Chain A
Amino acid sequence: MLEIKNLRVQYGAFAALQDVSLSINDGQVVSIVGANGAGKTTLINTISGLLRPVSGQISFDGKDLLQMEGHNIASMGIAQVPEGRKLFSDMTVYENLLMGSYSKHARPQRQKQLEMVYELFPILKARDKQLARTLSGGEQQMLAIGRAVMMCPRLMMFDEPSLGLAPKIVQSIFEVILRLKAAGLTIMLVEQNVRQSLQISDYAYVLETGRVVIQGSGQEVLANEHTRAAYLGI
């Protein structure tokens, strides 16, 4: 479904990603593991078209994403739950969700997706007239996920969805990710909660200073000695 080959992204002279190749198959959960600054967010933002690579290829269902602009990439069903949520802070919860189904391909499904989001996160329905910035951190994260679900995505990329949240909310967010997987979505997951994300992953890549250093099934990467020492503290 998503095919990345020899991707190189630079901020000025600094290479944030070097020679990164990875692929995600339909219906899989794929984890990207790495320390701060390893290039995880850069990778996600490059796929979304917010950043332009120096070289390499990204294709989605055979279409070259590097020929497309960010808003067109989103309209194809590549959704991002961004780091820091990036909500429309002065819009209501309901309006934020509506924005998720802005694109022409998502708009006809608006009502159906809205029901799905309210079923996943009943609290969002209760708060639908509140401004997004008045929500708690956990609720904001739910809204960010809900907005992405509104896009009728085929690929959903999560960037640190549990960052700064209480353990109980983290659990419910993992449950939602599993439910989305069960509903047939393809998921790319960047999580500081390495053990748990590897446990639910079909495949995983470990990024270090912009390069893929380890890859394998979730279980393999979980069992890898280097991963255990560097990311699980065992």
Chain B
Amino acid sequence: MVFSPELLLQALITGVLLGGIFALISVGLSLIWGVMRIVNFAHGEFLMIAMYIAYYLVVKGGWDPYLTILITAPALFLIGILIFQTTIRPILKDPSMNQIMLTVGLSLIMQNLALVFFKADVLTANTTYTRLNFMLGPVVVRGSQLIAFAGSALTAFLLYWFLQKTETGRAIRAASLNRDAATLVGINVRNTYLLAFGIGSASLGVAASLMIPFYYTSPTVGLFFGLIAYVVVVLGGLGSFPGALVAGLIIGLTESVGASLLPGSLARVLTFGIFIVVLLFKPQGIFGGKQK
């Protein structure tokens, strides 16, 4: 492949835009880990379901893709708390191996149910935003990715504001810092878990609606994003909100630069290479200073 500055610039722009979406997807996983110390390996599959909801609303229902957030976010909130109550809550105190088995099992079930109901076809929604591209100097900016980036930034900001400034947000943080102390000041810790899981899932609803104009949907689309979210959260520091944002951008850039500089299947080597190098020198992640 011939290297050119334009190509690199293009990769950087795309990488930043993609990184915003990665960050939003990861923030939910990070929140869930931070509050209840569970890694939800079905996180990507929650996103996959949200993408199918958005896809069908757009293609069959004729909805504007961004309006589908009104459905996908509440739907994912409900699906999240339903799955939490029925499967995850009973094993909250179990050894982490059991919890991993459960959420990995959930992800397999959800993938295969999606295969049954939606078939294995790769679906792309062709919306008006899909072709909304423009030139910025020598670089093509995809309008839909720019909107997704802005939407992700806004959602992450709102989530951050909620956690920092509202009574309920503070209670979620308090419960994540010290469960007993939270109970002692009158916080219903069980409800904060439920809420955190619901919010972490709802953020995937928003992400799915933002992605539908430029990304395909398939039963296994969650595998890639689940893995990316896991890498981003660990890289940023487990449970760290700013960490997830920064690491999301880093991984977005790496993926995109890697894809333009390295031949196809090697591209991902760069992502996991950086992941391994950071963990070697700062195993608690970039922002994971005080995690125990």
Instruction: Give the interface of A toward B (CB within 8 A).
Output: 48-50, 69-72, 74-75, 79-80, 82, 86-91, 95, 98-100, 102-103, 106, 133, 147, 151
Contact = CB atoms under 8 A, between A and B. Distances in A.
Nearest to A81: B184
B6 interface: no
Given A88-B173, A95-B170, A102 B187 contact: yes
12 contacts: A48-B183, A71-B182, A71-B187, A71-B189, A74-B183, A86-B184, A88-B178, A90-B177, A99-B171, A99-B182, A100-B185, A102-B185
B186 interface: yes
A91 B178 CA distance: 11
Nearest to A105: B186
Interface in B271-292: 290
A147 B184 CA distance: 10
Given A75-B186, A103-B185, A89 B290 contact: yes
A151 B173 contact: no
Interface of B: 167, 170-171, 173-174, 177-178, 180-189, 290
B183 A70 contact: yes
Given A90-B290, A98-B170, A102-B167, A48 B184 contact: yes
B180 A71 contact: no
B184 A102 contact: no
A91 B177 contact: yes
B122 to A, nearest CB: 43
Nearest to A151: B185
Nearest to A85: B181
Contacts of A91: 170, 173-174, 177
A124 B178 CA distance: 21
Contact of A71 (B170, B173, B178, B183): B183
A80 B180 CA distance: 11
Contacts, number: 71
A64 B177 CA distance: 30
A95 B181 CA distance: 13
B244 to A, nearest CB: 16
Nearest to A48: B184
Nearest to B168: A102
Given A72-B186, A74-B186, A133-B290, 12 more contacts: A48-B183, A74-B184, A74-B185, A82-B180, A87-B178, A89-B177, A89-B290, A99-B170, A99-B171, A99-B187, A103-B185, A147-B185
3 shortest A-B CB distances, which residue pairs?
A103-B186, A74-B186, A86-B181
A89 B178 CA distance: 8
B181 A69 contact: no
A75 B185 CA distance: 7
A177 B174 CA distance: 26
Nearest to A78: B184
Contacts of A79: 184
A202 B177 CA distance: 36
A72 B190 CA distance: 13
A102 B188 contact: no
Contacts of B188: 69, 71
A90 B288 CA distance: 12
Most-contacted residue by chain B among A70, A72, A95, A100 (CB, 10 A): A70
